[in-house]
Amino acid sequence: MSGEGLFEGLLSLLGLKQGIPVDHPPPAVPTPPAPEQPKAPWSPLFDLLPETLIQTDRLLNITGFNRAAKERFPNIRSGAPFATALRHPDVLKRLEQGEPGSLEILPVAPDGPILCSSLLKLPEGERGWLIRIEDVTERYRLRRALAQAVSDAAHEFRTPLTILEGALETLEVLLEEHDWADGDISMFLGDAQRAQHRLASLTQSLLTLSALERRDRPVQWVQTTLDEWLRTSAAILPGDDLHVVGGDLPIVVPQAPLETILGNFLQNARRYGKGGPIEIGVGTHPPGDDHPLGLERHLVEPHPGADAPTYLWVRDHGEGIPLNALGRLGERFYRVERHRTRDPEHEEREGHGLGLAMVREAVASIGGGWCVASRPGEGTRMTVCWRVVGTEAGKG
């Protein structure tokens, strides 16, 4: 069993996940704990885990820690403030605000470790926190290496694809000039051109996804309104099918990530919306509170914070998404099983299964959240939310 699975099993055994206080029988021979040992009765079990585990009371004073915590923070001791072990502003802010969740802790030095911190509230009877800290440096570096390898491969595809496109266009002209373009030849040439266009589109999608995964560029925040943003965004194709809600509400948006997110939401709504109207809206509360639409599945949980988030959604009235497919949205190359056909033009419209993978990475890059609600035969609503982070927003 992996360390993560063992950790989850111990939490269930101890009643932490259900919020059930654990009844700890007194030891047969009471002995005062050593000053440097955790006070939590279940801490010896946590010594088996490789992740750093620290328990605090509601005042954020350390009440327990495991062996891995002692190795990572040699000066840690029971009774000391948690900040003496890990002085990270984002972690401390969330603990003080009472917000559980997970966040990455990037290194200060270039060769420092990358940590992932998970904050879990203890049951009401114990009042406090269990903080899990995992070193994800190798996982992070492997992910970046994979993204770079995919990007390099996609770049290598571009030149031969451009040559192939030119050759097919030249062949098409020659066939027309010599009147050789009979039915079969025209059909085969059309199939080759569609395959070339599809492969070129796939290559560009892989390049975009790899760039999102590497997160090399800082997010630019822009103050605008939804109406203004839709008029000026190069990624959004205008149309009479759009019904805008809250278009004049002042908002601050993450410019490039939102173009990726909204562009893919609208593309799917137009592709599967059966030509019906599409609602695109923005507000300060989730649209599902007023207009529920079947089961709502959270695909990316937003980072907690004190500021009210901005919600933006796209709603179509098409065929909807099967319940068993909701949890897999955002996986690379995953496409919802729909009516299949061998028509190449239909296959082109179906896409590559990378659009929502781009959405997942774009949402994660801004610490936002993403959920989808759908009911077969009634349509789908995709919602993204975010809080403004980073520098002052500029006027769009």
- Residue 147 contacts residue 214 (beta carbons within 8 Å): yes
Q: Does the structure show a pLDDT above 60 at 395?
A: no
Write the class of the CATH domain 3-135: alpha beta
What are the tokens at 311?
């919600």
What is the pLDDT, as a whole number, of residue 343?
47
Share of the chain above pLDDT 90, in %: 16
Instruction: State the DSSP code for 333.
Output: T
> What integer is the mean pLDDT of 244-250?
91
Q: Does the structure show a pLDDT above 50 at 103?
A: yes
Instruction: State the DSSP code for 22.
Output: P
Q: With cut-offs at 50, 70 and 90, classify the pLDDT of residue 94.
A: confident
Q: Does the structure show a pLDDT above 80 at 268?
A: yes
> What integer is the mean pLDDT of 182-195?
81
SS3 labels along 128-164: EEEEEEEECHHHHHHHHHHHHHHHHHHHHHHHHHHHH
What is the pLDDT, as a whole number, of residue 93?
82
Task: Find which of 21-35, 238-252, 297-311 is predicted with most confidence, using mean pLDDT.
Answer: 238-252
What are the tokens at 33?
């704990």
Q: Does the structure show a pLDDT above 60 at 328?
A: yes
21 three-state secondary structure: coil
Report how far residue 372's alpha carbon sits from residue 239's, in angstroms, rounded to the nearest whole number: 23
CA distances from 26 to 15, 35, 57, 216, 381 (A): 18, 19, 20, 54, 53
Flag the least confident range among 3-7, 119-123, 370-374.
Answer: 3-7
Domain boundaries of the chain, sorted by first residue: 3-135, 140-214, 221-395
> What integer is the mean pLDDT of 151-178?
82
Other C-beta atoms closer than 10 Å to the C-beta of 250 total: 9
Q: Does the structure show a pLDDT above 60 at 58?
A: yes
Phi first, then psi, for residue 358 (nearest 5°) are -65, -40
| H or E element, residue 300 | strand 295-300
Q: pLDDT: is 40 or 16 the higher one?
A: 16
Average model confidence (pLDDT) for the chain?
Answer: 78
104 three-state secondary structure: strand
Q: Which residues on neighbouring strands pair with residue 266, listed in sequence order?
A: none
Report how far residue 396's alpha carbon sits from residue 202's, in angstroms, rounded to the nearest whole number: 31
Question: CA dihedral in degrees (251, 252, 254, 259; nearest 10)?
Answer: 30
What is the pLDDT, as a whole number, of residue 372?
92
Q: Does the structure show a pLDDT above 90 at 171?
A: no
Task: Find which of 39-53, 95-109, 366-380 is predicted with most confidence, using mean pLDDT.
Answer: 366-380
Long-range contacts at 46-52 (CB < 8 A, ≥ 24 apart): 46/10, 48/6, 49/3, 49/6, 49/7, 49/10, 50/3, 51/3, 51/7, 51/132, 51/133, 51/134, 52/132, 52/133, 52/134
What is the pLDDT, as a whole number, of residue 40?
45
Q: Does the structure show a pLDDT above 70 at 34?
A: no
Instruction: Identify the sign of the CA torsion 150, 154, 156, 160.
Output: positive
What is the pLDDT, as a whole number, of residue 251?
92
Q: Does the structure show a pLDDT above 80 at 129?
A: yes
Q: Does the structure show a pLDDT above 60 at 38?
A: no
Q: pLDDT: is 31 or 85 the higher one?
A: 85
What is the pLDDT, as a whole number, of residue 11?
57
What is the pLDDT, as a whole number, of residue 37?
42
Q: pLDDT: is 106 or 202 the higher one?
A: 202
Answer left, alpha or beta for residue 379, where phi above 0 means left and psi between -120 and 50 means alpha. left
The reply to whether 221-395 shares the fold of 3-135 is no
What is the pLDDT, as a whole number, of residue 26?
52
Report how far residue 280's alpha carbon sits from residue 20's, in angstroms, rounded to the nearest whole number: 42
> What integer is the mean pLDDT of 42-48?
72
Q: With cut-offs at 50, 70 and 90, classify the pLDDT of residue 367.
A: confident
Q: Does the structure show a pLDDT above 80 at 41?
A: no
Instruction: Identify the sign of the CA torsion 85, 91, 93, 95.
Output: negative
What is the pLDDT, as a whole number, of residue 340?
42
Task: Evaluate if pTM is beyond 0.75.
Answer: no
Q: Which CATH superfamily is domain 221-395 in?
A: Histidine kinase-like ATPase, C-terminal domain (3.30.565.10)
Q: With cut-offs at 50, 70 and 90, classify the pLDDT of residue 50.
A: confident
Q: Does the structure show a pLDDT above 70 at 220?
A: yes
CA-closest candidate to residue 349, choices 331, 328, 335, 332 = 335
Q: Does the structure show a pLDDT above 50 at 391?
A: no
- Which residues contact residue 241 at a Cβ distance below 8 angstroms, ignoring those fewer than 6 apart? 270, 273, 275, 276, 277, 278
Report how far residue 223's alpha carbon sits from residue 306's, in angstroms, rounded to the nearest whole number: 20
> What integer is the mean pLDDT of 262-284?
89
Flag the least confident range among 30-44, 52-66, 295-309, 343-357.
Answer: 30-44
